[in-house]
Amino acid sequence: MNSAVCTPDGKYLFYDDMQRIFRIPVQGGASVEIAKILGENMGGRLSISPDGKFLAYPYRDSVPVPATRLAIIPVEGGSPTKVLSAPGVVWGLLWSPDGKSLQYSFSRNGAYNILDQPTTGGEPRQLTTFDSGIIFDFHWSHDGKRLLMARGEASSDAALLGNLR
C-alpha cells in the first residue's frame, strides 16, 4: 500500500498499489478495484475531497516529455473527470478546505512552499512564501482556518573508511 485515505463519513478506505486504486469497507469486506493509475505510476498520496465525492492523485508520465499530472476521479471509480498539469514533483497532495482546489508542496530555488491549483485549471497560486527549508507534510485544521505543517531542514554526512580488516 502506497497511501490510504478514509471517506469523511468513515465508511470506506481507499488505497493504492502504485498502479491501481482500491476501495474497501471499514467494517470489513472485500477490496474492489475502482481505477487504474494513469501514467507510469502514482507520484504521491491519494486525497479525498471534503464532500467525499472525488479522489485526487498525482502521477508521473514520461511521454512525450517527463511530467507530473494531477488526476481527479469519482469515488465510484472510472475515468478522470479532470487532469491538471503540475509544475514538477508534487509532495503531500490535499484538497483545499472548500474543495475548489488541490494543494501541494513544491520545491523551487531550494525552498519548499505550498501551491494552490484550482480544479478548474489555470496556473497554481503560491500560498506560502518561505525562502528556505522543506515542508515535510501539511494539513488544514477541521474548520479550515489554520494550516498546520511540519517544516525543517534535511542534512546528511558521508564518511570514507579505509584499511578495514
pLDDT, one tens digit per residue, over 71-108 is 999 999 988 999 998 887 888 899 999 999 999 998 88
Q: Report which of 112, 88, 107, 2 is spatially closest to residue 47, judged by C-alpha positions.
A: 2
Q: Among 3.40.50.1100, 2.120.10.30, 3.50.50.100, 3.30.413.10, what is the CATH number of 4-152?
A: 2.120.10.30
pTM of the model: 0.86
Strands 125-126 and 134-140, bridge-based pairing? unpaired
Residue 1's pLDDT is what?
61
pLDDT surpassing 80 at residue 2: no
Ordered by start, the domain boundaries in the chain are: 4-152
Of the chain, the percentage scoring pLDDT greater than 90 comes to 63
